Structure 1
Amino acid sequence: MYMTILFISILCACVIYFLFRQNRLSGLTKAEKLPDALKIILNAQVLYYQKLNKNDKERFENQVNDFLKYVRIEGVGTPVSDIDRALIASSGVIPIFGFPGWKYNNLTNIILYPDTFDQEFQFEGENRNIMGMVGSGYMNGQMLLSRAALLKGFSNQAGKGNTAIHEFVHLLDKSDGETDGVPENLLPHQYTVPWLKMMHQEMHRIEAGKSDIDVYASTSEAEFLAVAAEYFFEKPDQLKHKHPEIYHLLSQMFGQDPAVPFSPPLG
């Protein structure tokens, strides 16, 4: 009789513990989901997100939520809104969406300016022509962004450009120790030489006025990568049609095929 009572007591305790644990985990799961206000922004303003299937949308939301937990966003001369947070996080997630679990270990916080700024990080006065910058030296681990450029990058007038994505690609390039246009952490070794050869050929074409890639891409290998990546994520169909070799190598680099709707990560 005693053993029966003891067994029932233990069984009841196990059931109660299991139910409590399940409820707690369920509560954590709900708490960790992206707020509905940010989902609405993604649906309204992030074309990349809109093209994803249901499962990938959920994965994108989780990565955006995770990004906002480990990267601090602060405004200088402007408040930081939900739109700013959603678009900045999306800009960071898009280039790494083909690499589940990747985090920007070389980024701690983002400083958002109302508009362009100068080399002294001032957003008032003349000579304000910088829309985004990855910090170095004492500014290492920080990114500076123009809010006006951020919003334009996700507007219908963006064309092939997106300043925030551009700067995050610089961070990826920098993750191997050098910002040189060859992200060794992402690009399979067998593609390094073809990428360098193709990049220099296209830079010459840009300088000769024979390419539709923005002229800024011809200033250095690092800028070529960032500008081409903007094109890749913003107008993938157009890039694939006009520059199939560049598109192919960027697909291998980022582990994505954005010109194909609902395509899974490559690899």
Structure 2
Amino acid sequence: MIYFIIPLLAAVVLYFLVFKKDAPKRFTDQPQWHEPLLTHVSFYKKLNDQEQKVFRQRMSGFLNETYVDAVGFELEELDKLLVAASAVIPVFRFKEWSYNNLSGVIIYPENFNENLGYADHHSDRMISGLVGTGRFEKQMILSRTALYQGFKNDTDKLNTSIHEFVHLLDKIDGQTNGLPEAFLDKSYILPWMNLMHQEMEAINNDKSDIRSYAATNQAEFFAVTSEYFFSRPQLMKRKHPELYKMLELCFNPQLKKIV
């Protein structure tokens, strides 16, 4: 009997050490998040019951892997929930996703300047969110005011936190260049570039309802139009059908072609 048990135990140990390590991660559902998400996150509200459960599990996974901290105020539960929701929304249709290029999110009470100070309102440029580089590599810094505003008002097509998470997706291939090559089939990259530059020209000529910041460069175009896509999908589908279809293909890998 002992000769049978030892190989069995060895097989179990091998499974957990080798195979279980590579198995998809499963995170505990947090049903207590349901009501605040219903109240604040319109994307979540549109999901069915099973999808909402998966959404909460994905949020739990994100918060398990990523720390969220605050500067200048005491962090609240809703702060963390909105950050996690922002992380999950762009990748919700992916089979599984971890932000390997992010270790933590730091929230400032309001917009901040280039020196990461938030008291100088006379600065030439106040920032609502950024993905860090250099000593802030793998860090995201967000304004709490912008974080809440992004979920409070969907009509303005603006969501700073989603914008910054899209930059992280863009950065997966090593370059933040507005070319989502990790998510679009190669055959769509050239059409995407052509569409992007056509729309940037329209923005510069005041012939587009996409906000002007999208014309700054390709990376900002991808992030700004993604905000629009997730905040006002039906409006984008009506006003920018080609752009909508391309972003739908990017954020929903289950789609095999643009229809």
Q: TM-score, normalization: structure 1? A: 0.83
Residue 63 of structure 1: aligned partner: 58
Q: 2-side partners of 1:34 and 1:185: how far apart? A: 31
Residue among 30, 34, 54 paired with 1:34: 30
Alignment of 1:197-208 (within 5 A): 197-208=194-205
Unmatched segments (≥5 aa) in structure 1: 1-30, 257-264
Name 1:3's counterpart in structure 2: none
Q: Does 1:97 align with 2:86?
A: no
Q: Which runs of 4+ in 1 moved over 3 A?
A: none
| Residue of structure 2 equivalent to 1:74 | 69
**Corresponding position of 1:161:** 158
Q: How far off is 1:35 after superposition?
A: 5.1
Q: Percent identity?
A: 44
Of structures 1 and 2, the larger Rg is shown by 1
- Which whole-Å deviations, capped at 9, do the CAs of 1:191-222 have from their partners, x for residues lacking one? 10000000000000000000000000000000
Query: Which deviations, in whole Å up to 9, do the C-alpha atoms of 1:99-132 show, x marking residues without a partner?
Result: 1211100000001000000111111123161000
Q: Does 1:177 align with 2:174?
A: yes
Given that 2:154 and 2:232 are in contact with CA atoms closer than 8 Å, whether structure 1 keeps it comes out as no
Q: For 1:157 and 1:166, how far apart are their aligned partners in 2?
A: 14
1:114 corresponds in structure 2 to 109
Q: Does the 8 A contact of 1:188 with 1:252 survive in 2?
A: no
Assess if the C-alpha contact under 8 Å between 2:149 and 2:159 holds in 1.
Answer: yes
Relative distance call for 1:232 and 1:134 in structure 2 (3 A) is same
Alpha-carbon shift at residue 241 of structure 1 (Å): 0.2
**Is residue 152–residue 158 contact of structure 1 (8 Å, CA) maintained in 2?**
no
Q: Which amino acid aligns with 1:40?
A: E
Amino acid of the residue matched to residue 209 of structure 1? D
Provide the residue aligned with 1:239 in structure 2. 236
Deviation, 1:33, is 2.1
Q: Which amino acid aligns with 1:121?
A: L
Three-state SS of the structure 1 residue aligned to 2:175 is coil
Shift of 1:80: 1.4
- In 1, Cα distance between equivalents of 2:133 and 2:221: 20
Tell me how far 1:158 sits from its aligned partner. 5.2
Contact 2:163 2:223 in 1 (8 A): yes
Q: Which residue of 1 aligns with 2:43?
A: 48
Structure 2 distance, partners of 1:32, 1:157, is 29
Aligned residues of 2:108 and 2:118 also touching (Cα < 8 A) = yes
**1:221-242 alpha-carbon deviations (Å, 9 max, x no partner):** 0000000000000000000000
Q: Distance in 2 between matches of 1:79 and 1:232?
A: 32
Runs of 5+ in structure 2 lacking a partner? 1-26
- Once the two structures are overlaid, the 10-residue window that deviates more, 235-244 or 50-59, is 50-59
Kindly provide the amino acid, as one letter, of the partner of residue 75 in structure 1: A
Deviation string 1:130-187 (CA, Å, 9 cap, x unpaired) is 0000001111100000000000000036520000000000000001100000121111
The separation in 2 between residues aligned to 1:251 and 1:145, in whole angstroms, is 26
Q: Distance in 2 between matches of 1:50 and 1:221?
A: 31
Offset, 1:91: 0.4
SS of 1:32's equivalent in the other structure is coil
Q: Matches of 1:189 and 1:55 in 2, distance apart? A: 33
Answer yes or no: is the 8 Å Cα contact 2:31–2:56 preserved in 1.
no
Structure 1 CA distance for aligned equivalents of residues 220 and 149 of structure 2? 20
Amino acid across the alignment from 1:266: L
- In structure 2, what is the equivalent of residue 266 of structure 1? 255
Paired residue secondary structure (1:112)? strand
Matched AA of 1:219: T
Cα RMSD (Å) of the superposition? 1.5
